[in-house]
Structure 1
Amino acid sequence: MKRPRALLIAEAANPEWFSVPLIGWSLSTAIAKETDAHIVTQIRNRDAFVRAGLKEGVDFTAIDSEAVGRRLWKLVNLVRGGQGIGWTTETALASVMYPYFERLVWKQFGDRIRAGEFDVVHRITPLTPTAPSSLARRCARAGVPFVLGPLNGGVPWPAEFDRERRREKEWLSYVRTAYRYMPGIRQTYRHAAKVLVGSRFTLGDLPARYRDKYIYMPENGIDPARFWQTVQHRSDGPLRAAFVGRLVPYKGADMLLEAARELLQKGTLTIDIVGDGPMMEELRATVLEHGLGSAVTLHGWVPNEKVQDILCQCDILAFPSIREFGGGVVLEAMALGVVPVVVDYAGPGELVTSDTGFKVPIGTRADIVSGFRAVLARLTTSRAEVYNRSETARLHVQNEFIWPVKARQVVSLYARLCNVMPLKDSPIAQ
């Protein structure tokens, strides 16, 4: 069977950034290795693409949508309420500016799509389901399958954490479902051939009438070249835990310190906290107030390539975040054999099983603190529970979540769409 010719739309794709841009880069370039592909991205990513060895005009095209984008980003920074907060507001405004980018994409590639130069068009980013796509309708009219996703979003704030929701200035999240009435949303899903969906929450949030088009595939993956080490567990000394993430209320680093306080004071547990954010001073004060300095290390911001060095010195990832769409850090820990302890909600709750880690039920702040306290106390006296899951977690990521594996799943979908074969979605988890 011939290699599919794919036009990959990844407006946010950058190997030097993190979160959505890193996902856009990783998935699009992994797919490109399996297909005859051309990647379309935004001009701000061009230099990073070139530094990574891709040739402009051959491997990728950079679209200059800054005429609209620059102005709207100024508005985003003005109304979101501060750096690193107000993510729903940022996503909503980004969804407003995105159609201009797609208009420029069609202007440059529309004739080639209509001429049949591409077997499939796949919009990889934005990941949000709130960004409509005019390309879906245009590709359908041209007779070219349009694939959307993986999409993620729509994870509700737990009712018990409304205070944290307000501290994050997530005002727009109260009316987020209104996106379903935005112009172009319904026709996007009507004209898409298939939609990759990154979480169970998102699956339930999308229009039910197109359910037969949806395929479940978590959006996060692991680059084996970036996470190649393996943790070396020690049977002596304290249990070693890590927390990796932005230091903001919903990530729960403060809940972790509260849950672990007695174990830290007794010397049976240590915690490495990797990340920075507005809660850093609060965490420093907690460490000082309770005399935890010998057991807690606040690393601050650490370059991506150095995070695995710290994780590999730890036994578990203790991550009490209460609102993670994807939970990429959980996969990163598992890839190294570091066993996750997470809240059973949203992304982490979907990624972790009883064979690969530990889950604490979602509930009130007191419930989560109590649940983490109990799990951590048990694991400090029962290391075997950690060690028995370590290799299982690592192999699970290697078999299911490295980017080459995910790319082959997507390309299998392309091949069946392009050849008008009955679509059995077995290569992608349902």
Structure 2
Amino acid sequence: MSLKILISAYAYRPDKGSEPAISWNLVRELVKFHQIWVITRENNREAVESSLKERPINGLTVIYCRLPHWLEALNRNQRIVQVHYYLWQIAAYFQGKHLHDAIPFDLVHHVTYVKYWGPSFLALLPIPFIWGPVGGGESAPKSFWRDFGKRGKIYEILRDLGRSLGERDPFVRITARRSVLARATTEDTAARLRVLGAPRVEVLSQLGLSDLELDRLGRCPVSDSGTIRFLSIGRLLHWKGFHLGLRAFAAADLPENTEYWIVGDGPERDRLAALATELGIGDRVTFWGALGRDETLDKLGDCVALVHPSLHESGGLVCLEAMAARRPVLCLQLGGPGLQVTPETGIAVPAETPERAVTDLAEAMSCVAGDRALRLQMGETARQRAIAEFSWSAKVRALAQLYDRLALSQPEVANR
């Protein structure tokens, strides 16, 4: 049965990764099953319409919601993005209500932003409301804070404060309580959603890969250069935990022909480079800086495993991409990566203390470096898991069926 679905996607465009790509890929698959209306912000218009002009998508209508000009100007370069996001949610409700009066919709689904401590006022519409997956309930264990610089500690304090204030927002609680289903990216976030009063909570990753991406990553070659290289990819931020990867590399019992590559840039680069020199591994560590996607995939093809010791991450798309490229992932048992990686596809180590994490990561590096058959077997299993559990086509097929069940089983929503 084809339903009329309203999707709330503040971040929605085809030319970006992360959250804009989540909503873009999800909607592109959903229109195969249902009629979709996407409400998004005005500054996505140019990119969205340019893409749809080249490749029209039947069954899709995109509505652009814009705040007053002076507010848009204040948010240039995302200077007040959190305030803008909150006010946009209010404007989106009134635009969505007007649309619902005219159409009406069978169900509304909040997709982005993927954060649990901001409300979706579209939950006030008298139709079933799905929230998420949303994340952000993950925190860096306190024992790891001592490795953070002043900037990192301030960031963590402000992040905790922002979440605490968000949980006290009555509209966040209303969003949770009016949901017929709240999906959390991790168990940490699921616990927060239950506290907020969500009546039904499930844990489900917000990430996925298109068939095109799976095919492209599947053609990533297996390194046979003779040099064993580990790779980390991401913004060089304190909570990404790359300092743990460097310490583990220095502590591991690795042959001389082993290297550690880091792709990405950010405020922690100088500290990480200094740490590599201090540990005596500066000549075996290469900082490549920020690279384009093709260059990054080339680097992945030259490496045997991904090292991603992130301390709080609801997603971890790079881990999923590495798995699809047949690379085992070495990570911490935290957040999204800790759920994606199984003992058959990589090694996720406990995050009790920095010392224990470094020791366990070092053992994992030694294990993977010294056993080619094991890392090839892990890599192949990782790819099969990525296809079976994280392909957008499979995820959206299940979501479309969920829409059918919820729309038909919630007639009482209109009376709430």
TM > 0.5: yes
Q: Equivalent residue for 2:360? A: 371
**Displacement after TM superposition at 1:189 (Å):** 1.7
**Displacement after TM superposition at 1:280 (Å):** 2.0
Identity in percent: 28
Correspondence for 1:110 among 97, 101, 105: 97
**TM-score, length basis structure 1:** 0.85
Equivalences for residues 50-89 of structure 1 within 5 A: 50-53=49-52, 59-65=61-67, 67=69, 69-70=71-72, 73=75, 77=79
Correspondence for 1:350 among 320, 327, 339: 339
Q: Equivalent residue for 1:21? A: 20
Q: Which one-letter code corresponds to 1:24 in the other structure?
A: S
Q: Equivalent residue for 1:85? A: none
Correspondence for 2:298 among 300, 309, 327: 309
Unaligned runs of 5+ in 2: 412-416
Q: Which moved more, 1:301-310 or 1:145-154?
A: 301-310
**TM-score, length basis structure 2:** 0.87
Correspondence for 1:167 among 138, 148, 151: 151
Q: Which moved more, 1:58-67 or 1:8-17?
A: 58-67
Equivalences for residues 216-231 of structure 1 within 5 A: 216-227=203-214, 228-230=216-218, 231=220
**Displacement after TM superposition at 1:264 (Å):** 9.2
Could you give the per-residue CA deviations for residues 345-387 of structure 1, whole angstroms, max 9, x where no partner exists?
A: 1111111111111011102222222111111122222222211
Report the secondary structure of 2:342's partner residue. Answer: coil
Equivalences for residues 210-289 of structure 1 within 5 A: 210=197, 212-227=199-214, 228-230=216-218, 231-234=220-223, 237-261=226-250, 266-287=255-276
Q: Which moved more, 1:189-198 or 1:286-295?
A: 286-295
Distance 1:103 1:415 in 2: 27
**Displacement after TM superposition at 1:209 (Å):** 7.2
Q: Equivalent residue for 2:414? A: none
Query: Are residues 397 and 267 of structure 1, via their aligned partners in 2, closer, same or farther at CA, if it must alter by over 3 Å?
Result: same
**Displacement after TM superposition at 1:397 (Å):** 0.8
Report how many aligned residue pairs link the two structures: 402
Q: Which moved more, 1:121-130 or 1:206-215?
A: 206-215
Could you give the per-residue CA deviations for residues 146-202 of structure 1, whole angstroms, max 9, x where no partner exists?
A: 211111111122111224285323232343323222131222122222222211110
Q: Does 1:43 align with 2:42?
A: yes
Q: Equivalent residue for 1:121? A: 108
Report if aligned partners of 1:68, 1:100 keep a CA contact under 8 Å in 2: no
Report if aligned partners of 1:235, 1:383 keep a CA contact under 8 Å in 2: no
Q: Which moved more, 1:120-129 or 1:230-239?
A: 230-239
Unaligned runs of 5+ in 1: 78-89, 423-430
Report the secondary structure of 1:318's partner residue. Answer: strand
Q: Which one-letter code corresponds to 2:397 in the other structure?
A: R
Query: Are residues 210 and 107 of structure 1, via their aligned partners in 2, closer, same or farther at CA, if it must alter by over 3 Å?
Result: closer
Query: Are residues 335 and 75 of structure 1, via their aligned partners in 2, closer, same or farther at CA, if it must alter by over 3 Å?
Result: closer
Report the secondary structure of 1:124's partner residue. Answer: strand
**Displacement after TM superposition at 1:292 (Å):** 4.5
Distance 2:201 2:278 in 1: 51
Report the secondary structure of 1:240's partner residue. Answer: strand
CA RMSD of aligned residues (A): 2.8
Report if aligned partners of 1:8, 1:39 keep a CA contact under 8 Å in 2: yes
